[in-house]
Structure 1
Amino acid sequence: MTVDLSTRDLTCRLSHDAGLRLDQLALPGNDWVDAASPLFGLVADGVHLHACSDGWQTSEVRIADGPASTGCITRLRHVPTGLGITHHFTVHAEGLIESWLDVRNAGDHPITLTRLDSLTLALKPAACELMYYTAAWGDEFGGVRRPLRAAFRLETRAGRSSNQHHPWFALFRDGVGGMLSMSVAWSGNWCFRFDPHDGGGWLVSGGLSDWAFAIVLRPGETMTAPPVALVLAAGDDLNAISIPYARVGRRRWYPRNALARRLPVEWNHWWSYEDKAIDEATFRANVDVAAEMGIEVCTLDAGWFGPSDPATHWYDYRGDWHLVNTTRFPSGIRALADYAHSKGLKFGLWCEIEGLGRLARLAEDHPEFVATRDGERLGYVCLGNPAAQDWAFETLSRLVDDFALDWVKLDFNLDPGAGCNRADHGHADGDGLYAHYQGYYHLLQRLRARYSEVIWENCSSGGLRIDLGMLRHTHFTFLSDPDWPEHSLQLFWGATTMLAPDALLRWTYSEWINGYPPQQFNPHDPNLQPHELDYFIRIGMLSVMGLSQKLPELPDWVRERYTAHIALYRSLVRRFVREADLYRLTHQPKRDGGGDRWAAFQYALPDADEHLLFVFRLPGGAPSRTLRLRALHPDRDYLLQWRSHDRAERYTGAQLLRDGLRFDDLRERDSALVHIRVGEGNAFAYPVSLSHHAKLDA
């Protein structure tokens, strides 16, 4: 039996004879897989099985048609072991495929699973180059490209999905052409394997990591292996891969509510005050200025909880969320929320619900919640324990209700490694991390169901848990703790190969209180120039815009310039961030002074009639750069309006596609923002005037 899931551009055929295989996966003139490519793999009781192994019986094949996708659900039983597999294979109209497994023990004895590959592909022979990203704190999205010559394993073992490596790769075929990308939708340990295959091909498989992993299924029990997303594209332009990821994310994965769809501008106190310099009066003073500047959310980060002592350190008391530090906040947290609301602002609060500080009383009051490995505390609450899940739900519910929260920043500041192996949490010694993340996802589902209009932000030591699994349960993800300009541009370039800009929260260049060397922003620096400040702020406007500054202490001209940019973001920019396809027009800039020393990003609305172009010249960038734009109508006239100064030019789409747009008037650490629209005449009416004293000079 053959099932054809092909779309206009993609040929995709599955065969259900003697198991399950992928017979064809191709774009026009660009075939990828060998015949009889197995679609999944697993190891059960030490035996490696794949979808074409002997012993499979197919009991059901069902086609599931959606409004913009077609899926094939296949039920199989492996007679020798008694394993039942429900394989899900969905082809989205945007060109992205998802594959995942439900595994059931349909036999009469326990079965131990030690490996689960949600997707396996046997690729045709070709010389290949692999692209992926390394990651660490403050060092996320480090782009790597290397020839694939021998067996290679791309993985994370830190217990957080994007520490060590990001859960994404792209494979480029030399000579033959074309790109293939995969990303696993999982927040814990994961793995992709690249093994030599027949005749010079490659066997690519991935999903959950098999490192320190084992799950025992008793008769009748079922577990789910996380989805792996797959995208194919012709040529070698990464935009052809990233756009399907973003479109499917927006339309099917990312949760949204009215506040999240707005992409509100957020202020957070952290980098300018941290925990010991924030208090009630300081927060209120910042709220006052935030309201004047057009900021829409004020978030109180760590430092609000724990014993009432000015010396209380936030990290030590994570878990004691019932305690408010009344030395810092004598009127309590609800008073701050009410004050922000009285100014027309939303109120946000930081919480590390998984974290367990060394001095937190939670470990004494509920020792059964504590995650341990071989008897040693791991520093977090194991949500594989259903009782701990209920505690977390009740705790966060109380915070939302008592403090009238509109936004919750959920952080996680440690590496769980292989996870908890206690025997009294409901999981076994080999699947504690798996159970924790399933529990965390379930917690987030419950919270979003009860508080449908609250924003739930994902953060984990900045950007160390960014993945397609977490982005199905949270509204925004924080990209990284540091936010100096070149670092932020490298991050944004990398993150948008797998995520849409409106899923990414990024702060403008912050004034740090703790002296971290790359964070040199000083709004009082007499040498700070307007074009430099514009450059810093515009980088934060590429996604969901946030800032962490001492707002009452900003010099007047800096505050006025911030205010003008925020107004422009609200009236114009965020519509593109929310709705447009993003094209990266340069190579990835690097935080160490390497990579491309120009960065340019084009936002193209779906009808191609309106675009927004951000251009940045980094330190060391050549004096001029010509950028070839994308997604334009060749036969239409476009008017280009520079939002920095009074400059408007007209071009045909064919000119911009063929000849590009030249920039030769930007200084280092300078930028341009260009609004491009189809239309007649030489001028437009804009909702925000920048002709006053805070005009954004080029």
Structure 2
Amino acid sequence: MLPTTTEMQMPYSDIVLDTVPETEIPHARFTSGLFIYDEVFLNGRLLGRYWSSSGSIRPDMHFRWANWYTEVAPKLPADAFSLALEGETLAGGWQWLGAEECADPSGFRGEGRPVRHARIRLGHERRPVEVAVHMRLDGSPFMIRWLEITNKGERPTAISAVSPWSGLIWQHRCAEHTPPDCPSPFELAYTHHFNWGEEGDLWWEPLAEGTKVVDGGHKGRSGWGRPAFLLRNRANGELLWGELGWSGNWCMAFTCTKDEAGGQASLIFSIGPDAADPALRVLEPGETVRTPYVHLALFHDDLDACVQAAHAHVRHTVMPAQLPGLNQRVEANHRGYICDRETEAGLKREIDIAASIGAEVFVVDAGWFGPEPNRWGANVGDWYAGAWLAGGLEPISAYAHLKGLRFGLWVEIESIGQAARLRQEHPDWILTRDGQPVADGRALDLSKPEVVAWMESEIVRLIRQYDLDLFRLDYNTAVLEGGNRVYRGFVENTLWRHCEALYGLLDRVRARFPHVIFENCAGGGGRLDWEILRRFQITEISDWMRAPRGIKILNGLSFSLPPEVCLRTFGTETGEHVLDGDLDFQLRVAILSHPIFRGISPTLEELNPLLQARIVHALDLYKNFIRPMLPECRVFHHTGLLPLFELTPWCVLEYAAVDRSRAVVGLFRTADIGEDCYTLYPRGLDLGRDYRVTFDNLRETIQCSGAALAQEGLRVYLPTNLTSELLLLEEIRRSY
């Protein structure tokens, strides 16, 4: 199989800051890989001039011939960013203050890549405000953009709305290029459902003429529907991938315009934070704030290649480096049989069971803390061991380490429960909206520095006191529109300050404990944006465990997130066991991600030896065949985007080693419809090599050439719903 266009890209980046030839019009061109984004400053507006996925620079003569500067640009309906202060949209009226290339201040990883960074500075003629437009490139297909907004006035002001990156993406002829049955040349993929247990519901929707707005349901967090999109141009084959790095409420909009008579269409986008209150963020005189980051990539490639580029960006730019020797360790979590019934003897028994199957990390989850037994949700905020753990957690940590397991602990540090002593001592720390408690008073107000200082000190204490190897942060409180307050004469929503405070707190704690694994969770996958993930090595992607939705959630989220960072659970914690899928189905979902076990057996004596053998076999495959290639594996979604709530017969995922020496393919029967046989054409192999193919169900092995596998395929027969097959493909190395 030949490498794709995206795979062949060298890490090349370039920045040009000059003027349009024969004019004084400021011009900027940014190149990262084959992606070019070009903009000009004209008549008080920063405007996107063109986007290119081919690396080809467009000659200025075409813009002159089309009278672009005099006739087209003044009519463009969207600038390259948008900002409103105190309810006034500052469209137009900007003044050019300069542009320069300078060191990258963002803190994104860029080891071994040609990282370049530029800043365009603008002032406004009507408002005392300056904006610095930042662009970061590193030679990959993704560019990162953000704004710095400075209040240059003598009184406070307030950001009402902001989109760090917006504007016209496509405007071209489409009638002769678009399939006749397509209602639109443009299609949008986004997470269509926004509620708990509905993560990863990613699928294509044609964009009708008009404006499509997606806001994730305003859950008070980035949410179970992620602030991300894919835009597909059916007329020219390009795909634009966008991600907003933001953990509060957000909004993205897409405006499609059609000229049926002229056979043309255009598409405009914007994306940014959102709030129900007049002020997103108040700025003091002289204060500078940074907006959320926007990550964009423009491709002309197949979707698999785009996914692999996104995974490379997440692995090497967004998320922290995995800790050597600690990456992708098999976890066991106590919440399976002793939920809210924690005792020292019971937790030690859970550790023994975890060790018996080959788990490598043991995590004590919710239920270990607070004043009242069996009420973990009401106890949050009191982070001391409950009376039912008379010896504290120190003996549990020590026992886990004695058994050869790392030790981790669950904390929901942003919340304050009804039974918590903290709530009685600090009622003023409760988040409020219009003077009333938010989420029944269960949320802490992170706009207060003293609250953030207490949270940080508690995390530091817990890591030290219990000798933690892993810190698991959860966030189950739904604050919806968030809190607000009257501040400096404005009604300010507090979600922006919540995010700022949380990011800063986590950055400081991680710097103090560089050898601790940080694990993200938020009611499952309720906070999966790329900015919160900059602070975690692994993340829960959903609390939903049951088939077939569990594998479809992994399928949907593994478009944006590489599988090795995505926790998937095997066990008994949640209900509806009748919809588990067969035993191997359940185990294979877990080992095709980052496996975590919640509920293996009530006791070691009651552990079914047949069940134990299947678990041990699955983990042996994970540790020895799958895990070694996971950190750089290429993911192929053979069945594409799968709506969660539509019946689909199959879900097929392939992970291939980057050197094409091996691959694993999970084939899952997800509904009793369609054909019982699936013909698999592996995509991640080398056509010129030979491979050994093992069918895990049959325990049989055959030998095939890469060419035969790719061209003739393998037929897999699964007549029964909620069953699966696992194929292991490994190069046969010849010795001559």
Equivalent position SS for 1:124: strand
Match for 1:447: what amino acid?
V
SS of 2:536's equivalent in the other structure is coil
| 2:125 counterpart (68, 76, 79) | 79
Partner of 2:3: none
What are structure 1's unaligned runs of at least 5 residues?
Answer: 523-527, 683-698
| Matching residue's letter, 1:542 | L
Residue equivalent to 2:228: 168
Match of 1:388 among 444, 451, 462: 451
Contact 1:617 1:667 in 2 (8 A): yes
Compute the displacement of 1:423 (Å): 4.9
SS at match of 2:551: helix
- The sequence identity of aligned pairs, in percent, is 28
Q: Which one-letter code corresponds to 2:521 in the other structure?
A: C
Letter in 2 for 1:535: F
For residues 45 and 418 of structure 2, the distance between their equivalents in structure 1, rounded to whole angstroms, comes to 51
Q: Classify the secondary structure of the residue corresponding to 2:310.
A: helix
For residues 657 and 100 of structure 2, the distance between their equivalents in structure 1, rounded to whole angstroms, comes to: 39
CA contact (8 A) 2:649 2:670 kept: yes
Contact 1:588 1:599 in 2 (8 A): no
Task: Give 1:27's aligned residue.
Answer: 53
Q: Secondary structure at the match of 1:38?
A: coil
What is the aligned partner in structure 1 of residue 34 from structure 2?
Answer: 9
| Offset from partner CA, 1:535-560 (integer Å, 9 cap, x none) | 21011111111111143232111012
Between the two proteins, the alignment pairs up a number of residues equal to: 660
1:517-666 to 2 correspondence within 5 Å? Answer: 518-520=576-578, 532-551=582-601, 552=604, 553-589=606-642, 592=645, 594-620=646-672, 622-664=675-717
Deviates more, 1:101-110 or 1:499-508: 101-110
What is the deviation of 1:483? 0.5
Judging changes above 3 Å, is the alpha-carbon distance between structure 1 residues 256 and 519 closer, same or farther for their aligned structure 2 residues?
Answer: farther
Question: Does residue 1:232 correspond to 2:290, yes or no?
Answer: no
Q: Distance in 1 between matches of 2:55 and 2:679?
A: 32
- One-letter identity of the residue aligned with 1:462: G
- State whether residues 588 and 596 of structure 1, in contact with CA within 8 Å, keep that contact through their aligned partners in structure 2: no
Partners of 1:373 and 1:30 lie apart in 2 by 51
Residue equivalent to 2:277: 212
2:180 paired residue number: none
Q: For residue 519 of structure 2, what is the aligned residue in structure 1?
A: 457
Contact kept, 8 Å, 1:160 with 1:465, in 2: the verdict is no
Contact 1:427 1:435 in 2 (8 A): no
Which of these residues, 138, 142, 147, is aligned with residue 206 of structure 2? Answer: 147
- State the partner residue of 2:730: 677
Q: Secondary structure at the match of 1:505?
A: strand
Residue type at the aligned position of 1:419: G
Q: In structure 1, what is the Cα distance between the partners aligned to 2:490 and 2:513?
A: 32
Report the counterpart of residue 100 of structure 1 in structure 2. 146
Distance 1:402 1:164 in 2: 33
Distance 2:489 2:569 in 1: 39
Q: Is the 8 A contact 2:201 2:642 kept in 1?
A: no
CA displacement 1:34-57 (0-9 Å, x = unmatched): 98673211112333234xx23321
Report the equivalent of 2:329: 264
Q: CA deviation at 1:176?
A: 2.8
Q: Give the secondary structure class of the aligned counterpart of 1:489.
A: helix
Matching residue's letter, 2:299: A
Equivalent position amino acid for 1:14 in 2: E
Cα distance, 1:631–1:573 mapped onto 2, change above 3 Å: closer
Q: TM-score, normalised by structure 2?
A: 0.84
- CA change 1:487–1:70 in 2 (3 A) is same
Measured at CA, do residues 250 and 15 of structure 1 come closer, stay the same or move farther in structure 2, by a change above 3 Å? same
Query: Which one-letter code corresponds to 1:597 in the other structure?
Result: P
Does the Cα contact within 8 Å between 2:718 and 2:724 map onto a contact in 1? no
Gaps in structure 2 of 5+ consecutive residues: 1-17, 19-26, 105-109, 175-184, 260-264
- Out of 236, 239, 243, the residue aligned to residue 179 of structure 1 is 239
Contact kept, 8 Å, 2:220 with 2:481, in 1: the verdict is no
**Deviation of the 1:286 alpha carbon:** 1.5
Give the 3 Å change call, closer, same or farther, for CA 480–8 of structure 1 in structure 2: closer
Q: 1:630 to 1:472 in 2, by over 3 A?
A: same
Tell me by how many angstroms 1:95 deviates. Answer: 0.6
Q: Deviations over 1:99-153 (max 9, x none)?
A: 1111111233433210010110302235312221122112222234322122111
Higher mean Cα deviation, 539-548 or 66-75?
A: 66-75
1:60 partnered with 2:99 = yes
Q: Aligned-pair distance for 1:166? A: 2.1
Aligned counterpart for 2:375 among listed residues 299, 302, 313: 313
SS in 1 for 2:548: helix
CA distance in structure 1 between the partners assigned to 2:56 and 2:607 by the alignment: 56
Q: Deviations over 1:668-687 (max 9, x none)?
A: 433232232333459xxxxx
How far off its partner does 1:612 sit? 2.1
Q: Structure 1 632/14 Cα, relative in aligned 2: closer, same or farther at 3 Å? A: farther
Q: Which secondary structure does the structure 1 equivalent of 2:297 belong to? A: strand
SS of the residue corresponding to residue 272 of structure 1 reads coil
CA change 1:178–1:427 in 2 (3 A) is: farther
Q: Secondary structure at the match of 1:39?
A: coil
CA gap 1:658/1:92 in 2 versus in 1, 3 angstroms: farther
Equivalent residue of 1:485, what SS?
Answer: coil
